[in-house]
């Protein structure tokens, strides 16, 4: 199930027309959480029959303009759009692509088969002047060669999923499998288009991927380590102990009398690392004396107190190890 991430939907009072070499774009900035994009929704309407409408994602240069080739793209039949000048929301589906956190991208749109006379064009609804702080509307009169700011913002929604981290994939069978993207060594976008057996060689996060061979692969977030619903970063090891409370009295001439009095509850020690000092600080906040809800990778759910959070001296640059000591409490 996909999630809506970035969006802008003000009170539209602007129309931007697209046909042939006249393209329009809307830039936006991914938030602190990296995610993939599976589709965008745009508020559009049409004149005449503009034909296939193409939408893609491109990188943004230092001046805030779209640049480079398409990172991912999708199409929709523009002839099916409403002719109502208020427009309607249309979803354009992409091959899934992973965005980096805190990075600006552009939604680039064109109707290559459209025309000015007779009017066969697609119109993107927007707001003039724009009110979206993390991007702007752009226009190009030369098929995306050069771009300029329109001073407006167009209505858009970006939909996607959380990314999968640190996955090592091997393909040993028939069919077309592709590792689409490796970004910063962290996020890998996997597609399986064919038959045969795929194998996953190593997963350095508590994630599980299933591959059914044919058709669609499912990426399941089963197996994560969660505290209060938030993923604990890069957990490498979990040590669970469950001490027994025992009364033991030595007896001369025979074995001691041992009376089982109960259990102390589980203590759980997490060892992991993070690449962010900010995250490290947020982890320390868990040691606050209140109850926290912990999910272990096997599906066990515990109510715990976080007794201590111990950051360690970095082993590698930008890699800050930590340990978290949690003790089970009566819920």
Partner 1 sequence: MFGSYVLPHVLNVQITETRKEIERPVPLRNIAYRVDQADLGQTVRVSGEIRETTIDGAHAVMQAIRALNSGVDDAFDLEDGETPAIEALLTDPEFILDVESWFNGKYWIAYSLTFLEVEAP
CB of 269 to partner 1, least distance (A): 10
The reply to whether 226 sits near partner 1 by the rule CB under 8 A is no
Q: Is 213 in the site for partner 1 (CB under 8 A)?
A: no
Note whether 197 binds partner 1 by CB under 8 A.
no
- If one asks whether residue 316 binds partner 1 (CB under 8 A), the answer comes out as no
Helix-then-strand count for the chain, H and E: 1, 28
CA distances from 275 to 56, 177, 281, 320 (A): 31, 30, 12, 6
Q: Interface with partner 1 by CB under 8 A: which range of 74-82, 111-119, 142-150, 193-201?
A: 193-201
Which of 281, 288, 293, 298 forms a contact with partner 1 (CB under 8 A)? Answer: 298
185 binds partner 1 (CB under 8 A): no
Q: How far is the CB of 79 from partner 1 (least distance, A)?
A: 46
Within 238-277, the residues that bind partner 1 by CB under 8 A are 238-244, 246, 248, 250-256, 258, 260, 262-263
CA-closest candidate to residue 73, choices 48, 89, 52: 52
Q: Report the distance separating Cα 174 and Cα 192, nearest Å.
A: 11
Least separation in angstroms between CB 195 and partner 1? 19
User: Which of residues 77, 91, 142, 204 is near partner 1 by CB under 8 A?
Assistant: 204
CA distances from 266 to 234, 303, 325, 331 (A): 22, 10, 11, 13
For partner 1, the closer CB: 76 or 169: 169
Q: Give the phi and the psi of residue 122 in degrees, each rounded to 5.
A: -110, 140
Residue 4 in contact with partner 1, rule: CB under 8 A: no
Q: Which stretch binds partner 1 (CB under 8 A): 68-76, 126-134, 235-243, 274-282?
A: 235-243
Cβ(44)–Cβ(21) under 8 Å? no
DSSP letter, residue 316: B
Distance between CA atoms of residues 194 and 176, nearest Å:
5
Question: To 5 degrees, how large is the angle CA 92–CA 39–CA 234?
Answer: 170
Is 299 a binder of partner 1 (CB under 8 A)?
Answer: yes
Q: Tell whether residue 289 is a contact of partner 1 (CB under 8 A).
A: no
Q: Does residue number 223 form part of the binding site for partner 1 (CB under 8 A)?
A: yes
Q: Binding of partner 1 at residue 165 (CB under 8 A)?
A: no
Chain length of the chain = 331
Residues 264, 330: Cα–Cα separation, whole Å: 10
Sites of contact with partner 1 (CB under 8 A): 199-209, 222-223, 235-244, 246, 248, 250-256, 258, 260, 262-263, 296-300
């Amino acid at each position: 199930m996909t999630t809506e991430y970035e969006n802008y939907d003000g009170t539209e009072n602007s129309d931007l027309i697209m046909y042939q070499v006249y393209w329009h774009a809307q830039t936006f900035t991914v938030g602190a959480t990296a995610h993939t994009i599976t589709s965008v929704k745009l508020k559009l309407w049409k004149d005449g029959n503009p034909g296939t409408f193409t939408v893609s994602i491109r990188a943004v240069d230092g001046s805030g303009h779209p640049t480079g080739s398409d990172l991912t793209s999708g199409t929709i039949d523009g002839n099916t759009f409403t002719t109502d000048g208020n427009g309607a929301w249309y979803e354009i589906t992409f091959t899934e692509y992973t965005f980096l956190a805190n990075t600006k991208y552009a939604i680039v749109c064109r109707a290559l088969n459209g025309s000015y006379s007779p009017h066969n064009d697609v119109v993107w609804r927007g707001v003039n002047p724009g009110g979206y702080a993390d991007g702007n509307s752009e226009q190009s009169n030369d098929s995306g060669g050069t771009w300029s700011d329109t001073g407006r913002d167009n209505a858009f929604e970006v939909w996607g999923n959380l990314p999968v981290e640190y996955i090592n994939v091997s393909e040993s069978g028939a069919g077309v499998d592709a590792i689409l993207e490796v970004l910063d060594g962290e996020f890998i976008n996997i597609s399986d288009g064919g038959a045969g057996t795929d194998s996953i060689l190593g997963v350095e996060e508590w994630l599980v991927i299933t591959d059914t061979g044919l058709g669609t692969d499912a990426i399941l977030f089963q197996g994560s380590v969660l505290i209060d619903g938030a993923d604990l970063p890069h957990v490498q090891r979990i040590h669970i102990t469950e001490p027994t409370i025992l009364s033991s009295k030595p007896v001369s001439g025979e074995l001691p009398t041992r009376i089982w009095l109960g259990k102390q509850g589980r203590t759980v020690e997490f060892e992991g690392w993070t690449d962010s000092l900010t995250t490290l600080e947020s982890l320390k906040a868990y040691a606050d004396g209140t109850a926290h809800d912990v999910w272990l990778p096997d599906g066990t759910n515990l109510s715990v107190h976080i007794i201590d959070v111990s950051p360690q001296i970095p082993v590698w640059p930008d890699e800050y190890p930590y340990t978290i000591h949690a003790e089970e409490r009566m819920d």
